[in-house]
Amino acid sequence: MLRIEGLTAEVEGKQILRGIDLELPQGEVHAIMGPNGSGKSTLSYVLSGREGYEITGGSVTFNGQDLLAMEPEERAASGVFLAFQYPVELPGVGNANFLRTALNAQKRARGEKEVDAMAFLKLAREKLKALQMSDEMLKRNVNVGFSGGEKKRNEVLQMALLNPSLAILDETDSGLDIDALRIVSDGVNALRGPDFSALVITHYQRLLTYIVPDRVHVLMGGRIVRSGGKELALELEAQGYGASAA
Amino acid sequence: MPAVAETIETVQAAQEGGYKWGFETDIEMEFAPKGLNEDIVRFISAKKGEPQWLLDWRLKAFAMWKKMEEPDWAAVNYPRIDYQDLYYYAAPVKKVGPKSLDEVDPELLRTYAKLGIPLKEQAILAGVEGAGDSPSDSGRMPVAVDAVFDSVSVATTFRGELAKKGIIFCSISEAVHDHPELVRQYLGSVVPQGDNFFACLNSAVFTDGSFVYIPKGVRCPMELSTYFRINAKSTGQFERTLIIADEGSHVSYLEGCTAPQRDENQLHAAVVELVAMDDATIKYSTVQNWYPGDAEGKGGIFNFVTKRGACRGARSKISWTQVETGSAVTWKYPSCILQGDDSVGEFYSVAITNNFQQADTGTKMFHIGRNTKSTIVSKGISAGRGQNTYRGLVKIGAKAHGARNFTQCDSLLIGDQCGAHTVPYIENRCATAKVEHEATTSRIAEDQLFYCRARGLNEEEAVGLIVNGFCREVLKELPMEFAVEAQKLLAISLEGSVG
Ligand SMILES: Nc1ncnc2c1ncn2[C@@H]1O[C@H](COP(=O)(O)OP(=O)(O)OP(=O)(O)O)[C@@H](O)[C@H]1O
Ligand SMILES: [Mg+2]
């Protein structure tokens, strides 16, 4: 269970999150929608521990732990995964090496046995296949020269390998073609289960026909202004955010 | 085997004048007295039973050196070196060979293991009886190793295997005895005695190093490598390496260096000469990990090295790859003289300076022949209060028609107390030549660090990964066996540079 209470945060002295309250029970998928600049990515960074985001109030607990007191890598090891809206390029760092280093760093932190190169390759190939990605992806440098859609798929590949218990998907659907959208959604749905929960940030109702959310929240001006069932997304698509603002 | 236990009497007998060499010999080492004068030069030469021509050569160098000034143009600061307060000869005394690895000094084995030398070669280097008789049976490519401990070469492995192909791989002292014609012909032919202050000093007092000769048309079947180690206190290390690749031959050579941790600074002034004939290729890789000094800048090696290769033949190629993580001060410019038409020179370098380390390193490419090509890729990483300077010269002669150079210098800064400097000189006297230079300076980006950490890497692991990525183009030039080791070294050298 992820519990966010009265969360306020600023960036460079500017208040962005103005009191977020949100409960995401284990096993559920919630969607967050909202206009550009409303603070969606800020929320995802605050949840994953990025520097430069100053928490000015409120609390976040994940499975009873004080998430805000943890380093980003500790959050990752305890199951938090952020699929970046803008995945970062790491020149010269091979994708396979990156993924295995990340997986083993998490395993080490959890006191689990690390995977060797062979076992990793087998696992990676499995996940690649499920996402209809070519093995070539493993040889390339992390996100370098990837198309927008390839970057997003690479995020989902990482998620599949790291097998998180809380995934925050920040506009993972943006830039995906129709087929990729379905494949990526299948990838997310494959993880769904009693021990997995997700916050899916999106601008488009279409994604939510593939990844059907348990709840939909509207984030505006740094607050959750409305929450509802999956039909809320349809209503927003038809009417825009104007009505929510009132 | 050069490291022979000798009594004071035998040494005295070898000295015509009967000098009184007060030996400071403890169980493991024997030293010549501190200080430098003509007698010491004679002593070293006599100790090695050298022919007169080589003694004369050394004495000539010493006479030149006495008139030379220590250079001060490099961007490095270090306390004055007292050349009279150093030992110029220190040799481990050979004991009866150990029967198994269990009997070998564990410190020595740890050193080899840390350098990534496989167990089999460790046994051979440590002089375990019978260990060198058969080639490595582990199925992997064997690596022939020469180990230079302080002043002398302690062992060379796989010599028999190589000899079958006519390859000579031995210590330079042995080469002086066994192949005097080759040594006499090539020694000092690339780096003359009076080339520079440090090379001149080396010419006078060099004690050992490796010698390689690859005959015509032979492709050396294994990596050749030398491990240099400074062990003794207050001891300068002056090794001399000479590699000759005859027509159409090919060799890949790797040197690794370490030194123990000491509060005092130690001097290392080596000379490496390479000669490549028509269609020959020499690939020379260095992983330099001399003790860098502690976090406060105390101790560490002063590394003043002259490395130069001559591409004498047409279509010959010399490629330098260096990973410089150690030393308190590094002063080093592996260079190529591209005499042969269509010859190729390459320089791939990673230099890391952390804490108070200083590196002034780069290369010189002399284009003399037609259509000569050179590539320079330099990656400098500065952390802590480290200072890193790339200094390069690309010189194109009037007759080097069609010559090409491409230079890329990238600097990465970690923290805000370090420095990176790029000093590229270009002298082009040929209108048909083309010279390209690219340079970048960057910092590890916050978003890259966060991306890695959000995937579970801690800050140091993230920096290690990003730095390794930054150095990729250079690391991929290293022989496979050592690339992994180099990657680990990069991460280790940056420990404590973040957070
Ligand atoms: N580092 C920063 N410096 C200054 N302002 C920032 C910074 N990061 C975010 N902001 C501001 O915070 C606000 C919220 O940004 P955020 O990226 O969270 O929006 P978003 O809801 O994700 O928008 P989008 O739908 O366009 O992705 C914006 O006004 C943005 O300009
Ligand atoms: Mg956003």
Please count the other Cβ atoms lying within 10 Å of the Cβ belonging to residue B22.
10
Bridge partners (DSSP) of residue B148 are: B153, B228
- pLDDT for res B109: 58
Distance from CA of A243 to the nearest CA of B (A): 36
Return the H-helix or E-strand segment holding A221: none
A42 lines ligand 1 (CB under 6 A): yes
ipTM field? 0.96
For every one of its 499 residues, what pLDDT tens digit does chain B have, with 9 covering 90 and above? Answer: 222 222 222 222 222 222 111 222 233 556 777 888 898 899 889 888 999 999 999 999 999 999 998 888 777 777 788 888 887 877 655 544 555 555 555 655 565 555 555 555 555 555 555 444 444 333 344 556 665 555 555 456 677 778 899 999 888 988 999 999 999 999 999 999 999 999 999 999 998 888 999 999 999 988 887 766 555 566 677 889 999 999 999 999 988 755 555 566 678 889 999 999 999 999 999 887 777 777 776 777 788 899 999 999 999 999 999 888 877 778 888 999 999 999 999 999 998 888 777 878 889 999 999 999 999 999 988 888 888 888 899 999 999 999 999 999 999 988 788 888 888 899 999 999 999 999 998 888 889 999 999 999 998 889 989 998 999 889 888 877 677 777 777 777 777 666 5
Q: Which two tokens stand for residue B396?
A: 């194109």
In Å, the largest CA–CA distance within chain A is 57
Bridge partners (DSSP) of residue B91 are: B30
* B52-76 confidence digits (pLDDT tens): 999 999 999 999 999 998 888 777 7
CB contact under 8 A, B470 and A91: yes
Q: Which residues contact B408 (CB under 8 A, 6 or more apart)?
A: B376, B377, B378, B437, B438, B439
- pLDDT for res B27: 32
A39 lines ligand 1 (CB under 6 A): yes
Contact of B353 with B322, CB cutoff 8 Å = no
- pLDDT for res B387: 83
Distance A16 CA to ligand 2 centre (A): 12
From CA A180, how far away is CA A174, in angstroms rounded? 11
Contact of A140 with A172, CB cutoff 8 Å = no
Give this prediction's pTM.
0.81
Q: Which residues of B touch A97 (CB under 8 A)?
A: 465
Q: Which residue of B has its CA nearest to A109?
A: B456
CB contact under 8 A, B456 and A98: no
For every one of its 246 residues, what pLDDT tens digit does chain A have, with 9 covering 90 and above? Answer: 999 999 999 999 999 999 999 999 999 999 999 999 999 999 999 999 999 999 999 999 999 999 999 999 999 999 999 999 999 999 999 999 999 999 999 999 999 999 998 999 999 999 999 888 888 889 999 999 999 999 999 999 999 999 999 999 999 998 888 888 998 899 899 999 999 999 999 999 899 999 999 999 999 999 999 999 999 988 888 888 876 665
* B403-447 confidence digits (pLDDT tens): 999 999 999 988 788 888 888 899 999 999 999 999 998 888 889
- pLDDT for res B73: 77
- pLDDT for res B230: 55
Q: Which of B332, B380, B391, B377 is nearest to B353 (CA)?
A: B380
Distance from CA of B453 to the nearest CA of A (A): 5
Task: Name the DSSP class of A158.
Answer: H
A225 part of contact set with chain B, CB < 8 Å: no
DSSP SS3 for A161: helix
- pLDDT for res A240: 84
Q: Which two tokens stand for residue A176?
A: 């995906």
The residue behind tokens 């090509």 is B373
Q: Which two tokens stand for residue A79?
A: 């199951």
Q: Which three-class secondary structure string do you get for chain B?
A: CCCCCCCHHHHHHHCCCCCCCCCCCCCCEEECCCCCCHHHHHHHHHHCCCCHHHHHHHHHHHHHHHCCCCCCCCCCCCCCCCHHHCECCEEECCCCCCCCHHHCCHHHHHHHHHCCCCHHHHHHHCCCCCCCCCCCCCCCCCEEEEEEECCEEEEECCHHHHHCCCCEEEEHHHHHHHCHHHHHHHCCCCCCCCCCHHHHHHHHHCCECEEEEECCCCECCCEEEEEEECCCCCECECEEEEEEECCCCEEEEEEEEECCCCCCEEEECCEEEEEECCCCEEEEEEEEECCCCCCCCCCEEEEEEEEEEEECCCCCEEEEEEEECCCCEEEECCEEEECCCCCEEEEEEEEEECCCCEEEEEEEEEECCCCCEEEEEEEEEECCCCEEEEEEEEEECCCCCCCEEEEEEEEEECCCCCEEEEEEEEEECCCCCEEEEEEEEEECCHHHHHHHHHCCCCHHHHHHHHHHHHCHHHHCCCCHHHHHHHHHHHHHHCCCCCC
